[in-house]
Structure 1
């Protein structure tokens, strides 16, 4: 579990991410060729995220393309938040919400098969969702993107950052092997309904588990 919230309030900066288990990409040798291959995959992940309004659908496409699970369906594992969980002022401003308007915070791990691909923080205005959507978010582990899909929402990106690059050699570990950190890409965005009204702000941190298929990629590139 993440120790505390992922986000430092104010500028919504990075918190701590745990190691979710061995990332198979860490078995690649630390050579210029393999670093370049990993960089291509990180860039592919970024393109996938930037071309989908829903992070859930983006990760399902990623999981299917790279055969990371028998059923490439992303599910959300809700995480326990601290009792005192104030809404950041910046989130209220981004959502156009008053100081007293209810905003809920949901933190989940987005999982495909055995891989935790992302940790997502989501602040949303329940009054701007349907009763059925709120019930699903409160009572199930359904991914937010699936629940609010009927809103045909768009994504207004506020931040998109690569947190780690294998090129030209940053982040390599001991023993001559490439060692990605737990967090490799982060994005922050406001989701808007078809009328342009903001209803959610999300911060998504993508983990090294998105690279867990890398030995297969390495073999493909070798041909």
Structure 2
């Protein structure tokens, strides 16, 4: 009862709810597309363009089972990209993305190394699908303070092979009122 009263009060005040935000995330295989939709609908920045700003990778060791999670063949390696996904200057997510470079084109790998283009946009031509693994309400281990929701997911290629393993920490900025 208290939760529905809080949600009603939030809706009446123009404040978005976590449920509304999560619904937008569920509609998309790409977190980037979901955040662009959210950024646009909430008026967070104009234009509603999501960029990926690199964060120091120090201390961001991969989960122990990363080789098996990504179903690596002998000799295949994985790479990691740790970024803040921003709409304008607003940080909407801090994400860790372990991926298999050999499953991307050389151009995609170069774009990931040299640009602020988010992973989901770069690899969209591969027609990946998102496979949610877990949603942790609030802040999970390694997520920054101010995390409202943590998502763990796999991106898989059309043939079923894993493309990337993701940890996404969504910030309180997503629930700020309309700007």
TM over 0.5: same fold? yes
Runs of 4+ in 1 over 3 A off after TM superposition: 32-36, 84-87
Structure 1 match to 2:150: 186
Conserved? CA contact 2:133–2:153, under 8 Å: yes
Structure 2 match to 1:118: 93
- Per-residue CA deviation, residues 17-41 of structure 1 (Å, 9 max, x unaligned), is xxxxxxxxxxxxxxx6578417961
2:118 to 138, 143, 154: 143
Instruction: Find the aligned partners of 1:191 and 1:154 in 2 and give their Cα distance.
Output: 6
Larger Rg: 1
User: 1:37 aligned to 2:10?
Assistant: yes
Instruction: Find the aligned partners of 2:154 and 2:7 in 1 and give their Cα distance.
Output: 36
More strand by share: 2
Conserved? CA contact 2:45–2:88, under 8 Å: yes
Conserved? CA contact 2:36–2:50, under 8 Å: yes
Instruction: Find the aligned partners of 1:99 and 1:78 in 2 and give their Cα distance.
Output: 29
- Using the size of structure 1 for normalisation, the TM-score is 0.68
Question: For residues 59-74 of structure 1, what are the structure 2 equivalents within 5 Å?
Answer: 59-74=35-50
Give the SS at the match of 1:89.
coil
1:51 to 27, 37, 40: 27
Q: How many residues align?
A: 167
Unaligned runs of 5+ in 2: 140-144
Give the SS at the match of 1:97.
coil
- Using the size of structure 2 for normalisation, the TM-score is 0.84
Instruction: Find the aligned partners of 2:165 and 2:137 in 1 and give their Cα distance.
Output: 19
Structure 2 match to 1:157: 132
Instruction: Find the aligned partners of 1:99 and 1:64 in 2 and give their Cα distance.
Output: 43
User: 1:129 aligned to 2:108?
Assistant: no
Unaligned runs of 5+ in 1: 1-31, 165-180, 218-223
- Per-residue CA deviation, residues 46-103 of structure 1 (Å, 9 max, x unaligned), is 1111111000000000001111111001000011212x76533322222112575311
